Amino acid sequence: MKIGVDCHALGKTKTGVARYLANLLKYWEKQNDTEFILYSMENVKNPFNVNSTALYYNFSLPSRAKRDRVDILFLPFYMRPLFCKVETAVAVHDISYLIHPEWFDFYHRIIYRTLGKRAIKKSKFIFVPSEYTKQEILKYFRNKINATKIHVVYLASDERFNDLKDQNKIQEVKQKYKLKDKYFLYVASIFNRRHVLEMIRAFESVLMNSPELSQIQFLISGKNLTNPFQDIDAEIERINKKFNNSIIQIDHLDENNLVNLYQGAEMFLYLSEYEGFGLPPLEAMACGTPVLTTKMTSLREVLGNYPIAVNDPGNVDEIKEKIIKVLSDARLRQEMIDKGLERVKSFSWQKTAEQTYDVLQGSEK
C-alpha cells in the first residue's frame, strides 16, 4: 500500500497539528508493509518556483500525489486541495470556523470554509479527536455525509511530558524567563474563545484581594490571534504598572523548556469554551500540574472525572474564586494531581497512530 502524507505543517512552529503529525509519523515509520510518501514545500516545488503555501497545497501536492499513484493522501490540517484527483483522508480537529465564523478574520474564514467544507464532503475518511467534534459535524452537515466515514481517534500527550521533576532544570527555566518561585502558566495560541483576557483580569483580582499571593507571576505564551482584536499587551502593561513584572508574555516558548515549565507551575490555566480536543491541559496533567479549565465541548472527554472546572469562563469573579480555592485547598490540589496523572493513561500516541493507520488501510478495499 502507498500512503501520501502532507507534511507542510511540520516546517512551522510546533502547533498542535504539527505535534499530532509528528507523533503519527513516529509510529508509522515502523510499518514495513506500507510505503509512506512524505510531501512538503521543500520536496514538492511548484512550476513557478514561488514560495507559496497556496500553490503547494492546491496544485503541486495533489499533482505529485496523483503522479506517485498513492492509494490515499492523508491531510492532517482540516482542508482538502481544490484540484485533487486522488482519494483523501482528512483530520478535522474542530469546525469552529463553521460554528463560530465571527472568531476568524475574513481571509481565514473564506479559506477554511472553502477547503474545510470540501474536505468533509469529499474525503473518504474523516478523523476527529473527540465525540463532540463528530456530533458537531453531523449536526452541521445534516443528511449530507455518511456518519460511518467519521472516525473518533483521541489524541495524547507526548511521552516527554511526565511528573519526574528535575528541580535544577526547573530552576534554570525560571531564571531564563525571569520567573520567581511561584507562577501560573498558559501555553497556546490566544483566541477569544480561550478567555485569556478574563484570565488576566482574574489574576489581577487575586493579587489585589489576596496579599499573601502577591508574589505569584503569570507566564503567558501564545501569539495573539484574537478576532475581534483584544489588546492583551495593553492589559498586561496596565497590570504590570500596578504589580511590577507580575505578568510575562512571549509569543513562543522554547520547546525544550516546555516540560520543565509545566512541571514548575503552581497551576495551568486554560479557560476555553470551544475545543476539538485540548492538548495543553492533558500535557500539564501529565506533568503533575493542577489544571484549571472548563468542561465545555470536548474538554469534558479529556478531563473525565476531574474534580474542579470553571463553569463560565467569561466570569472573572468565578475564575478568581476557583484560583484561590485551588491554591488554598491542599487536599483538592493533590486530588487534581492524582486524577490528572491517572487520566492521561487513557490516551497514547501509539493507540492514536494504530487506529488511524488501520482506517487508512481500508482505503484499498
pLDDT, greater one: 180 or 14: 180
The pTM for the full model equals: 0.94
Residue type, 45: K
pLDDT confidence band for 50 (50 / 70 / 90): confident
Angle at 196 between CA 195 and CA 198, to 5 degrees: 65
DSSP state of 267: E
pLDDT band at 356 (very low <50, low <70, confident <90, very high): very high
Q: Hey, is 185 helix, strand or coil?
A: strand
Backbone angles phi, psi at 261, to 5 degrees: -70, -40
Partners of 269 in beta bridges = 292
pLDDT in tens, 100-133: 999 998 999 999 999 999 999 999 999 999 999 9
Residue 364, pLDDT score: 55
Residues near 319 by Cβ (< 8 Å), separated by ≥ 6? 198, 199, 202, 271, 292, 310, 313
Instruction: Output the pLDDT for position 14.
Output: 64
CB-CB contact of 127 with 17 (8 Å): no
Judging by beta carbons within 10 Å of its beta carbon (0-12, 13-18, 19+), is residue 1 exposed, middle or buried?
middle
Q: Which three cell numbers stand for residue 148?
A: 460511518
In sign, the C-alpha dihedral spanning 231, 237, 238, 243 is: positive
Using alpha carbons, select from 76, 86, 99 the residue that is nearest to residue 6: 76
Mean pLDDT of 149-172: 97
Decide if 91 contacts 43 (C-beta within 8 A). Answer: no
Instruction: Identify any residues that bridge with 352 across adjacent strands, giving them in sequence order.
Output: none
Q: 363 or 125: whose pLDDT is higher?
A: 125
In this predicted model, which residue has the larger pLDDT, 346 or 11? 346
The residue type found at 193 is R
| CATH code 3.40.50.2000 region(s) in the chain | 2-156+348-364, 167-346
Say if residue 218 is exposed, middle or buried (CB neighbours under 10 Å; 0-12, 13-18, 19+).
buried
Is the pLDDT reported for residue 320 higher than 80?
yes
User: Closest by alpha carbon to 82, among 51, 50, 55?
Assistant: 55
The cell for 126 is 474523516
Beta-carbon contacts of 219 under 8 Å, excluding residues fewer than 6 positions away, are 177, 179, 183, 184, 185, 186, 248, 249, 250, 261, 265
Identify the CATH class of 2-156+348-364: alpha beta
Residue pair 1/34 in contact (Cβ under 8 Å)? The answer is: yes
- Is 60 exceeded by the pLDDT of residue 42? yes
365 pLDDT above the threshold of 50: no
Residue 45 pLDDT class (50, 70, 90 cuts): confident
Which cell is 106 given? 475574513
Spell out the residues 6+ positions from residue 274 whose beta carbon is closer than 8 angstroms to its own: 94, 96, 99, 100, 193, 296, 297
CA distance 178 to 171: 10
What are the Cα distances from residue 296, in Å, to 66, 84, 345?
A: 41, 36, 21
| pLDDT, mean over the chain | 95
Q: What is the mean pLDDT of residues 252-281?
A: 96
- Among 214, 244, 220, 215, residue whose Cα is nearest residue 233: 220
Supply φ then ψ for residue 227, to 5 degrees: -150, 115
Instruction: Say which CATH superfamily domain 167-346 falls into.
Output: Glycogen Phosphorylase B; (3.40.50.2000)
Give CA–CA dist 15/17, Å, rounded: 5
What is the C-alpha radius of gyration for the chain, rounded to an integer number of angstroms?
21
